[in-house]
Amino acid sequence: MSPTSFRRMKARFSVVFVFCFFLTTGVYGDTFTVLQAPDFVSFQKGDWPVSGEKIPDLVALTMGFSVQEDLSWSGLRSGSLFRRPSANVLLVVRGVDSLVLPQSVASYPLENPVPFTLDNVAETVHSLFAEDTPVVLQLAPSEERLYMLGKANAVFEDLPVTLQQIRARLSQDGSVLASLPLNSLSRNSEADLLFLSEVQVLHDITALLQRHRHLAKDHSPDLYSLELSGLEELSRLYGEDSPQYRDATAILASVLQKFGEEVYGLYGNNAVVEVVTVKMFEAPLTRKSRSILQSSQTKNEDPYNRAYKYRADYAVVFNIVLWLMIILAIAVIVISYNLWNMDPGYDSIIYRMTNQKIRMD
């Protein structure tokens, strides 16, 4: 075999090897990026894929809550038992597989991009901190393009929800239209307005938190789940090679970076900010919406009068109460026994001083 043929065969073998390597290892375009995180929430840098259906459990673990199944993922180490983040902000961006975010803690490939919700985490927050005022703000696209889901503090009542409200907000003073470089984006296109309205909502959330800083200083953790679909509409209308899509991607990357830094600073560097970029979900998401100011959720009574299901932390609470009662009972028995067998003349300082005074008299 000639040297030239050998080099050609070697080059072909290298190309085939690289191609097979990518096929076997798996190339996931969608990403899960941690923008901000405190020191005690330890995210390890590495190429560990995270499943989309495990993201709610991952958010619960970062907030210090327990999950039903153990999360066998090497990207997150066990943190402190006595400290929890003051807030967790999850941003889901649809229509793009990755964003250029220059400052981030860690980034991981996302596999199995199925739709997910943080409803279970929100219910955990409200059940554990019912007496406080936790902020649980969830934003998701619907037929009205934007709507609020879940409980939220009364501070967010004035936050624009529908597309018509946000259009009016964009025409008011202090809107993002005056500060953003629109370039190829138009104010007359519905898809462009949807993208700009989502940017406006992010700006309004940070503005409300700056005016009401007491929300970030209470003892209850806050949860923000924001799903943005403006890029997905732009890709459908203009295409991914269009200048509108490229300009919107650059704008959103800078806006998300600034949003994460502002929220992280408002919570005293004690918040976790994550960004999930998904090109397209594998299945549609169906969910039941609730009012933004709904204070309680009615539960269906069991017609058979059966007992409610035990929660995952039932065994922990039961053991804490059981052994605490046993220790208190033993302490009461020991104290009562010592008091019963006490000699007042020698063991009590009161009787001892009384006896000395009587003898002196």
pLDDT in tens, 12-71: 434 333 333 333 333 347 999 999 999 999 999 888 899 999 999 999 999 989 888 888
Average pLDDT over residues 204-219: 89
Separation between Cα atoms, residue 50 and residue 340, nearest integer Å = 64
Separation between Cα atoms, residue 361 and residue 359, nearest integer Å = 5
The tokens 């009574």 sit on which residue? 301
Q: Are strands 136-140 and 147-149 parallel, antiparallel or unpaired?
A: antiparallel
pLDDT in tens, 91-133: 999 999 889 998 999 999 999 888 888 989 988 888 888 777 7
Assign 278 a pLDDT band (cuts: 50, 70, 90): very high
Q: Are 227 and 148 in contact (CB under 8 A)?
A: no
What is residue 12's predicted lDDT score, i.e. its pLDDT?
44
Average pLDDT over residues 315-337: 94
pLDDT in tens, 52-64: 999 999 999 999 8
- Indicate whether 352 pLDDT > 50: yes
Separation between Cα atoms, residue 270 and residue 36, nearest integer Å = 9
User: Residue 114 class from Cβ within 10 Å (0-12 exposed, 13-18 middle, 19+ buried)?
Assistant: middle
Helix (H) or strand (E) holding 296: none
Q: Where are the domains of the chain?
A: 31-278
pLDDT in tens, 281-290: 866 554 444 4
Assign 178 a pLDDT band (cuts: 50, 70, 90): confident
User: Residue 332 class from Cβ within 10 Å (0-12 exposed, 13-18 middle, 19+ buried)?
Assistant: exposed
Query: What radius of gyration do the chain's Cα atoms show?
Result: 29
Token pair of 72 as six digits: 């066998």
Nearest to 91 by CA among 283, 235, 223: 223
**pTM for this model (two decimals):** 0.70
Average pLDDT over residues 311-340: 91
What is residue 153's predicted lDDT score, i.e. its pLDDT?
67
What is residue 149's predicted lDDT score, i.e. its pLDDT?
53
Q: Which residues, listed in sequence order, are joined to residue 111 by a DSSP beta bridge?
A: 51
Assign 82 a pLDDT band (cuts: 50, 70, 90): confident
What is residue 290's predicted lDDT score, i.e. its pLDDT?
44
